[in-house]
Structure 1
């Protein structure tokens, strides 16, 4: 058996997505999952730098606002782009 170093398009897999970016997404998503009065099962979280994009659907405008407020409480979040639709 020959050992071959893992790469992703010539770079180490760890270098593809900055750990801080993935960590920020995870922290925001975990926060949304625990907020009372918010069903975030159809909400997705994507980060680009310190900007968080919230998208998906919720049942009421209050839930969309609650999701944005909760995301703002996470350390490292500088801006929120809220594209959550109410269905």
Structure 2
């Protein structure tokens, strides 16, 4: 199989990031997924314009802080509302 570089009339196409909340959610979720010292498997990201709502659970308070800081570091994020809780593993 041969892979060719994408071109448009001989030029590389310009890519513009849409101003869509789903795109911002994707960027924030990716940032949380790769943030060191953070297991964001149970964290949800919801955007309304440039405002980001973080929900779900993590294991420690330190991870709650790291998630908020990671979300704030993403370009285009305005306010971060952090509603992440601490998971209660082992309680029954």
Note whether the superposition's TM-score is higher than 0.5. yes
2:46 aligned partner: 46
Displacement of 1:19: 5.5
1:65 aligned partner: 65
Q: How does 1:64-83 map to 2 (within 5 A)?
A: 64-83=64-83
Separation (CA, whole Å) in 2 of partners of 1:72 and 1:20: 17
Higher strand content, 1 or 2: 1
Q: Unpaired runs of 5+ in structure 1? A: 1-17
Q: Which of the pair has more CA radius of gyration?
A: 2
Q: Give the TM-score normalised by the residue count of structure 1.
A: 0.77
Higher helix content, 1 or 2: 1
Cα shift readout 1:57-83 (whole Å, capped 9, x = no counterpart): 000000000000000000110000000
Displacement of 1:20: 1.8
Structure 1: which 4+ aligned runs deviate by more than 6 Å?
A: none
Separation (CA, whole Å) in 1 of partners of 2:51 and 2:21: 10
2:20 aligned partner: 20
Q: How many residues align?
A: 70
Q: Give the TM-score normalised by the residue count of structure 2.
A: 0.73
Separation (CA, whole Å) in 1 of partners of 2:42 and 2:70: 16
Helix, strand or coil: the match of 2:67?
A: helix
